Each structure stands twice: as structure tokens, then as C-alpha cells.
Amino acid sequence: MITWRAGTVVSLGPSWPGSIELTVRLEDGTELRALAHPELVGLPVPGARVLLNVSAQVRGLGTGGYALVVALPDALPADPPAGPGHLVKARYTPLQAMVLGVDEQESEHHATLRDADDLAGMPVVVADLHSALPAVLAGARAAASAAGRPAPRAVYVMTDGGALPAWFSRTVAGLRAAGWLEACITVGQAFGGDLEAVTVHSGLLAARLVVGADLVVVAQGPGNLGTGTRWGFSGVAAGEALNAVGTLGGRPVASLRVSGADPRDRHRGVSHHSTTAYGRVALVPADLVVPVADPTDAPGAPTAPTEAGPGASAASDGEPAEIYPGRAAFLAKVHEQARALCAPGGHRLVEVAAGLPLLAALTTSPVRLTTMGRGLDADPEAFLAAAAAGVHAAGLC
């Protein structure tokens, strides 16, 4: 089940909080790029021997092209200092880690959370993919700025459907460094956030009562799992997250997974991940945000991208600017799919203008926007839909 390799560290590469890249020379002489989480395995140095897990890399799966350092067998890290905390994450795996949970008895916040049961209407945006996070925040910040208000105090609750260590995410590190994100709370089997929590429910309550969030985004870590079947994908948990928000008296906001460039039919327009999670799993009504054309787009205004196709302007003198040719028909399809999720007694359809101003807001992201290997130019609708959810949520703060 694990494909192992052993090698020697040749050099160290870029690092960010919780992670460091390194180049490793294997025993057969080949070199590859690896990733270490020093809090788990210690800090590698050139010349150190390392044991690697290359299972995903060998299969060509989405781990960013990394082999993963499992151990430095000749330089084991010192024991962690004695202290509180008995939450075990990645339980019963060789790299299980013990952390202090914000909700456990030894936490200074235990009394605050012990009987907590109310989010008091706090808006919570739920998204399928990790890549939605910076787009949601870009939309929320742009909406707040346009209204003359400070940016909302935003918290990310990271679920365990993708990567378990929050350290793996350069997005989280970059958003934290830029001041766009107040905290990351890792829940379930995920770990490495600013705070640890046992469940989505206690993570949401900690976001409000401990961090003082105005707005929360819930999504899995990077590296989602899908099988091409109706139910076999990790994004099913997005529907369960909406249930948690509604149960706790928050304001659930559903961010649609949308694509105009995905080669797979099941993900074109509104992804089947959204229709299943929000249409079949979610049992509470949510604000389902659908992007629509922006009537304020100036005639003939240029867009940021310049190539033909998605991301290119089809505007001419006297005609409304269009982010790419045929967008009106695409948005009509998305609107129809979203409306189908809002049957009587179901979700509330919320239309948000997603045109050139929102596209410009996305270009201010302090981290790279990428989803399924596609950037803003290649698949603008993926990010505009998420940003639209952020716009709506900011108006609820």
C-alpha cells in the first residue's frame, strides 16, 4: 500500500510555515523533489538520509509532484515538550500526531465551548474545493470595500477530505501572511491549523467564540478525491457542513463549484459535486449563490486576460463587455442548474453580479489562483462563482 524509497538530501528549497521542499538523491542516483513537515519528522539538512513515501507520485496523483518525507532515521527529532493536549490526529497511522484541541478539557477555551451551541447568524461559506478559499475572500473583501466597511475578520475551517496537514497548503500560508485570513482551524483528522478541533461543529463555534470571526469559509484541504461516480467524492462533505451551520444557527452560504473549461461533462456548468452535495445531502436551506452578468460592465472595457476563449473580451464599441465569447449562454445554463436546486422549501437562490469589477478583485489575490491545474485566465467562472459567494456573505456580516 506504500511505495517506499530511501535517499539522501542534496539541497533545501523553498519553505513556508510547516513545510520545506528538498531535493533528494535516491539510491539509484536519480533525484526528485520531496516535501517534509518538520513538526512531524524534524528538520532535514543536506547529507541527511531520508525515507520517502512516493506512492502518489508513482501513480501520478495530485500531490504537487512531491515525494513525502516519512522519517529522518539517523536524526530523529527530540521529544516534544510536555504539555496539555490529547487529541490524536491521523489516528493509528505511522505519523499520528497528538495536539491540543481548542475544545478539549485541557484547553483554556474549554469552558467557553463546553455548552456553546449558537453561531448567532454568522455567515459561513461552504465550498467543495480548497481553491475556492482565496476567491471567496477576494469577493468578500471587495464587497466590504465597496460598502466603505473594513474587511471581514475571516477564518478558514479546513475539513479532512483532502490533505490532512494544513501545512501542505501554500494558499493558507500566503493568505495568513497577507492578513486576509485571521486563522485556520483544522477539524476531524486534519491538523496543523492555528487551532485544532474535533468536529466541524466545534470548529465553527471556535471560529466565532474564540477567534471572533465575522465570516467563515469551510472547505476541504488541497487534493480532493473523486472517482467519477455519483457518491464517491470527498466533496459530499460540503452538504454535511451546511447542515452543521444550520444546526448551530449560522447563515449557511453555498458556493457553487462551476467551470467553463473542465474537459469532463459532469463538471461543466455547475459540477455534479454541487448538485449532489447541496441537492441530496444538505438538509437545511442555504443561500445558494449564482453568478450573473454585471450590468455595470462598461461598453468595450478590456478584461485582464487577453487570449481568445475563456478569459478574453468579446466586447466591441457600444456593446457590453464580455469576459469571454458566449458567456451569456453559459451563465444562463448555470442559472438554470442552480434554480433546480432551489425547489419550493429548498435553498434560496441569490443572484450576485460577477463581471469585470469582480474579475479585477480576483487579480488582487495575494496567492496564486488555480483549480484543477487551471488559472484565472483559463477558467474564470470557477473563481467568479466562489467570489460571488464571498460578496453575498460579506453583506451578511
The answer to whether position 91 is within a domain reads: no
Q: What pLDDT, in 10s, does the model give residues 193-205?
A: 999 999 999 999 9
pLDDT band at 64 (very low <50, low <70, confident <90, very high): low
Calculate mean pLDDT across residues 160-173. Answer: 95
Q: What pLDDT, in 10s, does the model give residues 209-257?
A: 999 999 999 999 998 888 889 899 988 999 999 999 999 999 999 999 9
Number of neighbouring beta carbons within 10 Å of residue 391: 26
- Residue 292's nearest CA partner among 264, 268, 323 is 323
What secondary structure does DSSP assign to 221-233, as a single string? Answer: -SS--B-SSSS-B
The answer to whether position 191 is within a domain reads: no
pLDDT of 315 higher than 60: no
The answer to whether position 106 is within a domain reads: no
Q: Which stretch, 190-194, 220-224, 371-375, has highest mean pLDDT?
A: 190-194
The answer to whether position 333 is within a domain reads: yes
Q: Give the CA radius of gyration of the chain.
A: 22
Which residues are within 8 A (CB) of 238 and not within 5 positions of it... i.e. 6 or more apart? 126, 127, 128, 218, 219, 254, 273, 274, 277, 278, 281, 282
Q: Report pTM.
A: 0.91
My answer on whether 173 and 266 are in the same domain is: yes
- Residue 365's nearest CA partner among 133, 194, 75 is 133
* CATH value at residue 40: 2.40.50.140
Answer with the one of 71, 89, 113 that is the final residue of a domain.
71
Lowest mean pLDDT among 39-48, 74-83, 346-355, 360-369: 74-83
pLDDT of 303 higher than 70: no
The answer to whether position 360 is within a domain reads: yes
My answer on whether 162 and 305 are in the same domain is: yes
- Per DSSP, the three-state class of 265 is helix
My answer on whether 147 and 292 are in the same domain is: yes
CA atoms of 5 and 328, how far apart (whole Å): 51
Number of neighbouring beta carbons within 10 Å of residue 8: 16
My answer on whether 219 and 351 are in the same domain is: yes
The answer to whether position 300 is within a domain reads: yes
My answer on whether 142 and 260 are in the same domain is: yes
133 neighbors 370 (Cβ within 8 angstroms)? no
CA atoms of 339 and 342, how far apart (whole Å): 5
My answer on whether 39 and 128 are in the same domain is: no
pLDDT of 336 higher than 90: yes
Residue positions counted in the chain: 397
Answer with the one of 28, 53, 71 that is the final residue of a domain.
71
pLDDT band at 62 (very low <50, low <70, confident <90, very high): low
Answer with the one of 71, 100, 115 that is the final residue of a domain.
71
pLDDT of 302 higher than 60: no
CA atoms of 52 and 153, how far apart (whole Å): 39
pLDDT band at 265 (very low <50, low <70, confident <90, very high): confident
22 neighbors 13 (Cβ within 8 angstroms)? yes
My answer on whether 218 and 310 are in the same domain is: yes
Between these two residues, 306 and 62, which has the higher pLDDT value? 62
pLDDT band at 317 (very low <50, low <70, confident <90, very high): very low
Calculate mean pLDDT across residues 112-118. Answer: 97
Note down the domain range covering 327: 123-181+209-396
Average pLDDT, the chain: 91
pLDDT score, position 310: 47
pLDDT score, position 298: 56
Domain count, the chain: 2
pLDDT band at 73 (very low <50, low <70, confident <90, very high): very high
pLDDT score, position 306: 32
Q: What pLDDT, in 10s, does the model give residues 24-42?
A: 999 999 999 999 999 999 9
Indicate the burial class of 95 (C-beta count within 10 angstroms; 0-12, 13-18, 19 or more): middle
The answer to whether position 318 is within a domain reads: yes
255 neighbors 261 (Cβ within 8 angstroms)? no
Q: Which residues of 316-346 are buried (b: 16+ CB within 10 A; e: fewer)?
A: eeeebbbbbeebeebbeebbebbeebbeeeb
